[in-house]
Amino acid sequence: MRHLNTALFTLAILAASPLAADSDLVIHDPWVREMPPVADNAAGYMRIENPSDTDRSLVDAESDLFGHLEIHESVEEDGTMRMEHREELVIPAGGEAVLEPGGYHVMLMDRHGDPLKEGDEVAFTLIFADGHTQEVVAPVLRHGPDGEADDDHHDHHGDHHGDH
């Protein structure tokens, strides 16, 4: 009986660890930008590593703190940055996808509750085309993990998100 309890305990520990996630992807340095008090939207960033030998596609995301989430890309057109909704973000086999200011990001829209401020955490679930999911808990930061502000975060707090 003692061996059974030890085995069950070990399985429980493994099931709760990031290594035993539903997906074989590895999430690095997730963070969400702090929101101005009047904003209903925020942007999430991270690096997604795919150590497998199969391309993976991020197709959706969910969070209890926001009404809906989308994959967006910042694109420059005629000298102006704008956000465009993307149906998927491919994470290449043996490679990675970088979600960063001025590029791809998870757009968190229609906030429920108080605005996010530095020190808060946002939990969300990444959903992949093959049905796998990946839980992410991201700290809210004012200027990102490197501490530097950027100017590529233009339309996230308004209603101008490009093509949906």
Which stretch, 19-33, 101-115, 135-149, has highest mean pLDDT? 101-115
Number of domains, the chain:
1
Average pLDDT, the chain: 83
Separation of alpha carbons 20 and 36, rounded Å = 36
Q: Does residue 5 or residue 26 have the better pLDDT? A: 26
In a domain, 64, yes or no: yes
In a domain, 163, yes or no: no
Cβ–Cβ under 8 Å, residues 108 and 41 = yes
Give me the domain span that covers residue 132.
22-157
Q: What are phi and psi for residue 16, nearest 5 degrees?
A: -85, -10
In a domain, 107, yes or no: yes
In a domain, 37, yes or no: yes
pLDDT in the model for residue 154: 41
Kindly state the average pLDDT of the residues 34-42. Answer: 92
In a domain, 13, yes or no: no
Examine the pLDDT at 9 and tell me if it is beyond 70: no
Whole-prediction pTM = 0.76
Cβ–Cβ under 8 Å, residues 27 and 47 = yes
CATH of the domain at 87: 2.60.40.1890
Per-residue model confidence as pLDDT tens digits over 64-119: 999 999 999 999 999 999 999 999 999 999 999 999 999 999 999 999 999 999 99
Q: What are phi and psi for residue 34, nearest 5 degrees?
A: -60, 140
Q: Position of tokens 């946002």? A: 122
